[in-house]
A and B are shown apart, each in its own frame.
Chain A
Amino acid sequence: MGGMIAHTLETNALLTAFAFVGLVMAFSALASRYLTFGRIHGSAIAIMIGLALAYVGGLMTHGKNGLADIPMLAGVGLMGGAMLRDFAIVATAFEVDVDKARQAGVVGAVALGFGTILPFIVGVAVAYGFGYRDAVSLTTIGAGAITYIVGPVTGAALGADSAVMALSIATGVFKAVLVMIGTPFVAKLIGLNNPRTAMVFGGLMGTVSGVSGGLAATDRRLVPYGALTATFHTGLGCLVAPSLLYLAVRAMMGS
């Protein structure tokens, strides 16, 4: 009986993965609502659970692919692999409204530019401090500091090591969680009480989940303004991190 169930799950690997990730998402949504009272977005919790499960999977199998090394959950590797990931991330661009982009104006564009460059520099500098010297790893970790999407997209494009990718994702998720929790506390200090600052905030902090969570906890009315610029953040990062920024790092590191 148990063997038959395992057989069914293994032969339908991708469907097993859908069901499994669905369970993780459901659990995260509940944890977000009842344990953090909506403070931390369910998606951030789900990604943290994902990383934790990858850790458990790695300990269990001594493999390099987290949960995917468990035969029954091999489909998670297909679901989270480069092909479907790029497919789904590109699809998010469909929601970008070009007319709305014009509303954000020059201030929004400036904020987006800084929001991409500053985290990248910080990420690269910290990675350098921890002994990373190759341009691919430095760029991947720097890109993770932009958002947890830009990190793995960049890492996959550059062929980064899976451990570096994990660091990159974790940095982005941690950043998003900090933005969600920290924003209400610094809102007064940084003048976050008007639409324009909210748009600057969205462009600088990136991560739609972090920005919308942080703004919702500060002042619900500011959410659409922050989300407006934040939606461009990931796209811009995916464009410049594996290209311009990587070339810049490579030129500096000479490798």
Chain B
Amino acid sequence: MTIFGVALLALCTLVGAFLGDLLGVALHVKANVGGVGIAMILLIAGRLQLQRRGLLAPGLKLGIEFWGALYIPIVVAMAATQNVVSAVGAGPLVAIAAVLTVVVCFVAVAVISRVSGPAETMDEIEARERGAPLSVALGQVD
């Protein structure tokens, strides 16, 4: 049933929020420490358990996936309710932070992929698969 999915999601979110608050108190921080992240781990664990027991019904999945699908619109709503007028006063912080971040990350991609040695390119993989039997090629796609 769909409500089971919604309820499971709500339960995970609530427990995550509670544990985050608890962690905040334990660490003497006036904040929710990682509550959303904890809730996500709980949900992934919950999904694994349900899958193992064969209880992952389509209705239950729908109840969770519906909310997952709404997350971008909800983020848009969140963006539309921020204090942007006073944020604009901060000047070019946004542009500088974003550009620097992207440049640093591009460089890191180049470094990590170079350090980890040569890899087969997409073109080489396709060329090899064209030579191989179809069943093998299909297996590779997955």
A residues in contact (CB < 8 Å) with B: 17-18, 21-22, 24-25, 43, 46-47, 49-55, 57-59, 64-68, 76-77, 79-81, 84-96, 98, 107, 110-111, 114-115, 118-119, 122-123, 126-127, 130, 136, 141, 144-145, 148-149, 152-153, 156-159, 161-167, 169-175, 178-179, 182, 186, 189-197, 200-201, 204-205, 219, 221-222, 235-240, 242-243, 246-247, 250
Partner of A118 from the list B34, B65, B90, B108 (CB cut-off 8 Å) is B108
For A59, A80, A130, A179, the residue with the greatest tally of chain B CB atoms inside 10 Å of its CB is: A80
In the bound complex, residues from chain A placing their C-beta under 8 Å from that of B91 are 130
Give Cα A153 to B33, complex, Å: 11
Q: How far apart sit A250 and B29, CA to CA, in the bound complex (Å)?
A: 10
**Contact between chains at A222 and B110 (CB < 8 Å):** no
Q: For the complex, what is the distance from the CA of A111 to the CA of B13, rounded to whole Å? A: 28
- Which of B's residues lie within 8 Å of A, judged by CB? 9-10, 12-13, 16-17, 20, 23, 27, 29-41, 43-44, 47-48, 61, 64-68, 70-91, 93-102, 104-110, 112-114, 116, 119-123, 125-126
Query: What is the predominant secondary structure among interface residues of chain A facing chain B?
Result: helix
B75 touches A148 (CB 8 A): yes
Q: Nearest-CB distance from A134 to chain B (Å)?
A: 12
The 6 A-B residue pairs with the shortest CB-CB distance, nearest first, are: A239-B37, A80-B77, A50-B79, A80-B78, A58-B85, A93-B40
Q: Are A85 and B78 touching (Cβ within 8 A)?
A: yes
Alpha-carbon distance A199/B31, docked complex (angstroms): 33
Q: Is the CB of A175 within 8 A of B101?
A: yes
> Please, which residues of chain A bring their CB within 8 A of the CB of B108?
111, 114-115, 118, 204
Q: Which of B10, B38, B73, B93 contacts A22 (CB 8 A)?
A: B73
Given contacts A126-B96, A153-B36, A174-B95, contact A92 B80 (CB under 8 A): no
B35 touches A157 (CB 8 A): yes
Contact of A247 (CB < 8 Å), options: B29, B48, B82: B29
- B81-A90 in contact (CB<8A): no
* Cross-chain contact A190 with B110 (CB below 8 angstroms): yes
A238 touching B64 in the complex, CB below 8 Å, given contacts A65-B81, A90-B43, A163-B83? no
